[in-house]
Structure 1
Amino acid sequence: MFFHLHLLHLDLSKVYLSLSRTKQLHALILKTHLSHDPFYATRIVRFYAVNGDLHSACKLFDESPSQSVYLWNSIIRAHAQAHKFEEAFSLFTKMFRTEIKPDNFTYACIIRACSESFYLEGLKLVHCGVTVSGLGLDSICSSALVTAYSKLGLVDEASRVFYGTPQQDLVLWNSIISAYGNCGRWDKGLQLFSEMRSMEMMPDGYTIVGLLSGLSDSSLIAIGQGLHGLCLKCNLDSNAHVSSVLVSMYSRCMCMNSAHRVFSGLFQPDLVTWSALITGYSQSGDYGKALFFFKNLNMEGKKADSILIASVLAAAAQIANVGPGCEIHAYVLRHGLESHVMISSALIVMYSKCGFLGMGTRVFEIMPEKNIITYNSLILGLGLHGLASEAFRMFDEILRNGLKPDEYTFTALLGACCHAGLVKDGREIFRRMKDEFCIQPRTEHYVHMVKLLGMEGGLEEAYNLILSLPEPVDCGIWGALLLCCDVCGNSELAEIVAQRLFESSSEKGAYRVMLSNIYAGDGRWDDAKKLRDHITEGKLRKITGLSWIKGFSRPA
């Protein structure tokens, strides 16, 4: 008996047991009447939950004669982790009707369930319960509340909880630093980090992760490099999670050499790290490397998720090379991922941009479920191929199916009007977007409207439209009008527009080249030469256009 009990304790001390082994141990504790002890029941419930067998977990819980707070916590956590939030809340309410009172771990679990289900009203009620029960100053409850409020976008509420807790341990500091990092307020996160260091509290991996998560712009790369240096100094670079977030940070900041250097130092990078690197290459315009590392990922035997697949399909679309796109499509079919809306939408865009609209339409037709993203993808493809009438028909289908068009729908529709030169239809779509669907125009909408008006000779109307916009006007809108001036040969307006661009845009090289071409077309060779000389002297360069033609060799 002692030998069996020793083996039982060894198994119960493990983090994971298979479902079959869990059932064997359950049978053993029933046979030996150990199920009357809540310790054994609690462990078995946890193993059932890890294996996703909630039915057996609930059955064991209901049959347990002695339900301790630990057993209650286990069954509530099991439902919360399975995203069965209503059942978790119901069990929590039922617990109050027993003699067992919730402890700090019970409240922490329910707080996380409220944030994961975006149940703000419930979170506030639980927060009241924490205070009434005398656990308002508990660091475990406070950390859970800080994380929950920040996840729901209420970082000021999270801050109030933090400063209202007298004994702030490292976990609580990490929670508030992560809260500010995740909402983009990296400066406040760094300020708190300085406060933490002044209290002689040593950071850990979670501290660094919280700080790095707020850095998402290339202008912040120096701060990211400083935090990387701190990781090396504190020997935190060996932490796989920290290294993964460093790869993500460098990728977001478009510093791909550093991202690859950190990535190469990882022994076994996980899928999140692979995704960060591949997405970083794609977003920084190095589409070839994005596709190369995606192939390496497959060779490592890792299965890509829908977000990563959509990212590499976007890379294939950008280089307009249908070959890699077809290979990725085959990968999607082999792994049964074709029903994912995000993937199917990316396939439609990829085939459309590669010139195979029929394939994109076929993907759309066989989709079991379609949402607004899917329709937007097809409307974009139809517009690129000049099929504006078909794009309008898809828009009518959206409305018939009860879907709500968004700003991207109207971007695609206005793009279709631009490609087809449909000024009247474009005006009507722009009006309906504002008046009927209450969508405020964004930069891309104004770019399309300026092109639509300007390319048809309405340069003055396009210019007045831009002047009606609040300052500062995005350089992309002014650039669209300059392009129209080039096409229509209006050098006078081009000079006015170019001057606005030179004052506001750092990308002056491309616009100066465009204005130089307008001067040349108007016979103003001296002005054109002056601009070209200024470009050469100022070392401004327009990015050279490249064409990639895929060749196929004939068999001998």
Structure 2
Amino acid sequence: MQTKTSSYLANVLQFCIDRKSHKAGKLVQAHLFRTNQISNTFLVNRLIELYSKCGHTAAARHLFDQMPLRNIFSYHAILDSYCKLNDLSNAYDLFTSMPERNAVSWNLIISALSRNGFKEKALQGYHSMRLAGFVPTHFTLASVLSACGGLGDVKCGKECHGIAIKLALDVNLYVGNALLGMYMKCEAIADAVVVFKDLPEHNEVSFTSMMEGLVEANRVDEAFDMFRLMHRVGIIDCVSLSSVLGVCSKSVVEEFVENNGNDETRRAMHGEQIHGLVIKLGFETNLHVNNSLLDMYAKHGYMDCAEILFNSMFEVSIVSWNVMIAGYGKQHKKKRAMECMEKMRSCGFEPDEVTYINTLAACLKSGDVETGLWIFNSMSSPSLTSWNAILSGYSQNEYHREAVMLFREMQFRKVRPDRTTFAIILSSCAGMGLLEGGKQVHAALLKANFYTDLYVASGLIGVYSKCGKIQLAKHIFNNVPQFDIVCWNSMLAGLSLNSLDTEAFTFFQQMLGNRMLPTEFSYATVLNCCSSLTSLSQGWQIHGLVVKNGHSNDVYVGTALIDMYCKCGDVGGARQFFDMMPSKNTVTWNEMIHGYAQNGRGEDAVNLFAAMIQTSVKPDCITFVAVLTACSHSGLVDASLSIFNSMQGEYGIEPLNDHYTCIIDSLGRAGRFSEVEEIICKMPYKDDPIIWEVLLSSCRVHANVSLARRAANELFRLNPNNSAPYALLANMYSSLDRWDDVKDVRGVMEEWQVSKEPGCSWV
């Protein structure tokens, strides 16, 4: 009779477990207590399992503690409940108190540790399991491989791979996918490809892992090939479509080369094609896929397409609205982003933190820091991400002092900064040249144990370098336990910034000796050092490295090379490289025009300026400074006047003081003072001493006494203690034998106690 009752109750409990019927289970529990069957370990284990599945872990634990007899399954039931709730503290305490353990016990705790970010503890648990003599299962290996991937520990991952092969688990799809994920996260792409090829079968996870890993390794064309293979095999679901749309979002190339044996074919792969496939396969109503499509269009700046898709969607979520707001923000359309946020509210969606951050970013990217701060202050409890967003906005818009004050307020509110926060605030301290602020942040770094973080160390090097404390910057660099290219670049830039160009070049050689692959920034910095040293031979060496490492087509490196050749006097070499560049921006054209100006080749500069206009490259204010300087140095007065007059009328650029200085210098050198006076009457920059010094120098050459006196009087007004205008005026009078006027000038100097600085020779 007792056996039948137990069997019946077991069936009832199974029925309750299948339907997660918590209340019915309580009735069974009451019956067990009433009939004195609480010692039936099997039935109580089923009850604990029921409570665990229903999310009533406290009730399960209470029943567990009341059990007179427990077995390993009792422990597993409650341990599984803690692990599913991610209650690692109670799970670990229970695990350590178990009188006996088996492979299931270890699998549960290792999986929970790995899943919750305790990767190192998961690996320690795995090693303890092996020492205890237990053989890992496919569940064990999957959890451990995930931990190895998270830690980037490819060595441990390969050891697990070897064990998987030994146990014939490497062909298991679950383990195989875990191996793929581990190798991809460890950037061991070749090993991942081998694993993928050796798997007897593939599923969506296999393809998606390969695709995402290839994108992270910047092998976009291979990622698209993987999707094509997936399409041919017929394994496509909403997750894989979202993944390939993520590839399209990250990819900036619209076509790639496909090698078919001996010939290469250029094949295009656009997000629009994937959109067509989505419709063809009937996924156009899937919210997750549509959100991925929106994200792809928004990230590429096709907001018109995003709006059409958004308005045609059967269902939208808060993610959809957030993507649209972020898309408007990327295009600096603050007004549209704010309107979208208001419309979102009117449709019954309450903004979340991502909404606020995206709207905040839209305001900051548009330069509207005031509205950005208003949005930030409207957040009830800003998270660390929100603090970082507003700090980054302040820093990028060069509101460095406000960023420092906000960082202090963040500390008063006891919001703990992370590495991103420290990097942003160090950037602001560097921008202000605020040494004391940098030192205070340095102290906070030591307190928060971020001192050895590479990301933060680069920021510290930048602060001390820009504040002229290069020895402190070197100290930081030398004490970083592990270097990356960003740290090397920061130190290289610091040496260059402090005019230690020879030392910077030596440092660059050390960088190569340490097998650090230079980036575009590295080459641009070291080329600037070659320019400062006017060392053409070293510049040639760097040029050779640039070509060898495939950076010769980079527009920034190319611009630095042009600057180096021009400053070293090899204008022909600069022009030859300039003509070979596949893409040029305004800065590139400016450097070449300025190079001609520096080397006295005004006609070439004017011709290049004309070619720049013909190629539809819009000149900026720097372009006009360069070409006007070239005209001034080469006596091309009419050309300079024509270019100056075209600035505002044809290009909408308001002339600045540098432009007025160039045109006045050009006209003054030619003795065309009536035109100079006309320009002086119109120009808004009457308090710029350089303009008057240039004019005074021209007047001395052409003996224009009346205009020279006016220029000198303006200089006396602006700075009575500057000896330069007195000396220029006195020299002009002496060249005209007007000795009484020379005496008057020297008398004024004595009266104002102005002393002429003695000249010196560097020869």
**What TM-score range do you get, normalising by the shorter chain?**
0.7 to 0.9
Which of 557, 574, 582 is matched with 1:360 structurally? 574
Q: Distance in 2 between matches of 1:395 and 1:481?
A: 26
For the Cα contact (< 8 Å) 1:271–1:304, is it kept in 2? yes
2:248 aligns with: 79
Length-normalised TM-score, structure 2 = 0.59
Deviations 1:241-299 (A, max 9, x none): 11211222344455544444433433444333333343344445444444343333333
Deviations 1:165-186 (A, max 9, x none): 3232222222222221221112
1:11 aligns with: 145
Q: Distance in 2 between matches of 1:156 and 1:195?
A: 17
How do 1:208-219 residues align onto structure 2 when only pairs under 5 Å count? 208-215=422-429, 217=431
Distance change in 2, residues 1:514/1:109 (3 Å):
same
For the Cα contact (< 8 Å) 2:504–2:529, is it kept in 1? yes
CA displacement at 1:4 relative to structure 2: 4.6
How do 1:506-545 residues align onto structure 2 when only pairs under 5 Å count? 511-513=722-724, 515-516=726-727, 518-519=729-730, 522-523=733-734, 524=742
1:55 aligns with: 224
Length-normalised TM-score, structure 1 = 0.78
Distance change in 2, residues 1:379/1:191 (3 Å):
closer
CA RMSD, aligned part only?
Answer: 4.4
For the Cα contact (< 8 Å) 2:212–2:247, is it kept in 1? yes
Distance change in 2, residues 1:66/1:474 (3 Å):
same
Q: Does residue 454 of the first structure (1) align with residue 665 of the second (2)?
A: no
Q: Does residue 344 of the first structure (1) align with residue 558 of the second (2)?
A: yes
Q: Distance in 2 between matches of 1:60 and 1:115?
A: 36
Partner amino acid for 2:730? Y
1:323 aligns with: 537
Q: Distance in 1 between matches of 2:226 and 2:751?
A: 78
1:431 aligns with: 645
Partner amino acid for 1:7? L
Q: Distance in 2 between matches of 1:490 and 1:83?
A: 60
For the Cα contact (< 8 Å) 1:489–1:518, is it kept in 2? no
1:552 aligns with: none
Distance change in 2, residues 1:59/1:124 (3 Å):
farther
Q: Does residue 138 of the first structure (1) align with residue 352 of the second (2)?
A: yes
For the Cα contact (< 8 Å) 2:495–2:501, is it kept in 1? yes
Deviations 1:83-117 (A, max 9, x none): 47973997699877126596778877787677667
Q: Distance in 2 between matches of 1:327 and 1:178?
A: 38
How do 1:247-396 residues align onto structure 2 when only pairs under 5 Å count? 247-396=461-610
* Structure 2: runs of 5 or more not aligned: 1-134, 151-184, 255-269, 292-316, 735-741
Distance change in 2, residues 1:108/1:289 (3 Å):
farther
Q: Distance in 2 between matches of 1:232 and 1:502?
A: 52
Deviates more, 1:416-425 or 1:479-488: 479-488
Distance change in 2, residues 1:241/1:517 (3 Å):
same
Partner amino acid for 1:468? K
Q: Does residue 224 of the first structure (1) align with residue 438 of the second (2)?
A: yes
For the Cα contact (< 8 Å) 2:657–2:685, is it kept in 1? no
Q: Distance in 1 between matches of 2:321 and 2:136?
A: 37
Partner amino acid for 2:554? H
Partner amino acid for 1:512? S
CA displacement at 1:154 relative to structure 2: 4.6
Q: Does residue 207 of the first structure (1) align with residue 377 of the second (2)?
A: no
1:97 aligns with: 285
Q: Distance in 2 between matches of 1:394 and 1:4?
A: 68
Q: Which has the higher contact order (CA 8 A, sep 6+)?
A: 1
Deviations 1:97-153 (A, max 9, x none): 126596778877787677667787996797579758977543355445534553454
1:400 aligns with: 614
Distance change in 2, residues 1:156/1:498 (3 Å):
same
Distance change in 2, residues 1:270/1:298 (3 Å):
same
Q: Does residue 22 of the first structure (1) align with residue 233 of the second (2)?
A: no
Distance change in 2, residues 1:345/1:75 (3 Å):
closer
1:551 aligns with: none
Q: Give % identity.
A: 23
Distance change in 2, residues 1:528/1:138 (3 Å):
same
Which of 196, 207, 212 is matched with 1:46 structurally? 212
Q: Distance in 2 between matches of 1:429 and 1:165?
A: 52
Q: Distance in 1 between matches of 2:337 and 2:550?
A: 38
For the Cα contact (< 8 Å) 1:73–1:105, is it kept in 2? no
1:550 aligns with: none
Distance change in 2, residues 1:382/1:495 (3 Å):
same
CA displacement at 1:498 relative to structure 2: 5.2
Partner amino acid for 1:50? E
Q: Distance in 2 between matches of 1:268 and 1:168?
A: 34
Secondary structure, in 3 states, of the residue corresponding to 2:546?
A: helix
CA displacement at 1:321 relative to structure 2: 3.2
Deviates more, 1:425-434 or 1:404-413: 404-413
Distance change in 2, residues 1:489/1:336 (3 Å):
farther
Distance change in 2, residues 1:504/1:514 (3 Å):
closer
* Structure 1: runs of 5 or more not aligned: 548-556
CA displacement at 1:12 relative to structure 2: 4.4
CA displacement at 1:19 relative to structure 2: 3.3
CA displacement at 1:193 relative to structure 2: 2.5
For the Cα contact (< 8 Å) 1:317–1:349, is it kept in 2? yes
Distance change in 2, residues 1:202/1:4 (3 Å):
closer
Deviates more, 1:197-206 or 1:414-423: 197-206
Distance change in 2, residues 1:50/1:316 (3 Å):
closer
Secondary structure, in 3 states, of the residue corresponding to 1:439?
A: coil
Deviates more, 1:421-430 or 1:332-341: 332-341
Q: Does residue 473 of the first structure (1) align with residue 665 of the second (2)?
A: no
Secondary structure, in 3 states, of the residue corresponding to 1:146?
A: helix
Q: How many pairs does the alignment contain?
A: 536
Q: Distance in 2 between matches of 1:155 and 1:439?
A: 26
Partner amino acid for 1:19? I
CA displacement at 1:430 relative to structure 2: 0.9
Q: Distance in 2 between matches of 1:150 and 1:89?
A: 34
Distance change in 2, residues 1:229/1:45 (3 Å):
same
Secondary structure, in 3 states, of the residue corresponding to 2:651?
A: coil
